[in-house]
Structure 1
Amino acid sequence: MQYTNEHFTGTHKDWSDRLKASLPPGNPENWPMPEGEEPPVKVEPEPVIYVPDLNTEKEQAQAELVYIFEKRAEEIAGKYPWFERDTWQDQEAEALAYQADPNTPTPVLTKIATPRNITVAELHSV
């Protein structure tokens, strides 16, 4: 196939050979410069030193610690709902009071026993 324009007529190979012949081999930095011109100076950019934002680092570290804590807490106490976990000290106090006097009011233990359809006495024996 022949290509034609105002400067060239020939095949793709002819055009490619002509282009190769017009360019000096090697890196363009090594090509001869026109008289009176200096070769371009290659300027390396200054390295950018990363300085992390201290508040961001603290927030990320705290978020990571919360994640680790929640994951381990879930492994340890995962079968219990958060309400029960958050009230363990109250449960202990009520259980000890119930042990001493079964007529003592036990609102937390009652709230736990009711959805399970058991009494506080049955919960205490578990």
Structure 2
Amino acid sequence: MQIIKILAFLSSLCASNMLWAQAAPSHGGHGGSSGGSDDVSCIKAKISHYKPEHLSSVSPGSEFSFTVSGSNGPNHIHVSIRQEPVAISFEDKESFFLVKGKLPANLKNETVRVSVRAKARISKCDADGGMLLKITE
């Protein structure tokens, strides 16, 4: 009789522990929510509204523009062509930045990528983007 009571107690203890593990959050895939210390929610930076559009034909020295939202500020937006920085200007539109720049005048009859990097407050929320432009004379 004593053994039956002990077995009943142990089986109920095991069952309650299994239920507790399923209900407890942040167990790395063992039930509950998928939280964790490295699961930091963020506002991802977004680069959009490219002008001229991707794969457009443009003249040397042409202007380009795009918008950036969710960035950590204008000092955290970088533009380059062939890994060389490009001078840009910013207009703060309250919920986003309008970024403008000019293609180098010495680039002629080639296709180049205007690379854009917008850094957010949390590095995993950074955005990389860009556009290809066909520069014709």
Q: Tell me if both proteins adopt one fold, taking TM over 0.5 as the criterion.
A: no
> As a proportion of its length, which structure holds more helix?
1
> As a proportion of its length, which structure holds more strand?
2
* TM score, norm. by length of structure 2: 0.28
Bigger radius of gyration, 1 or 2? 1
Where relative contact order (Cα < 8 A, 6+ residues apart) is larger, the structure is 2
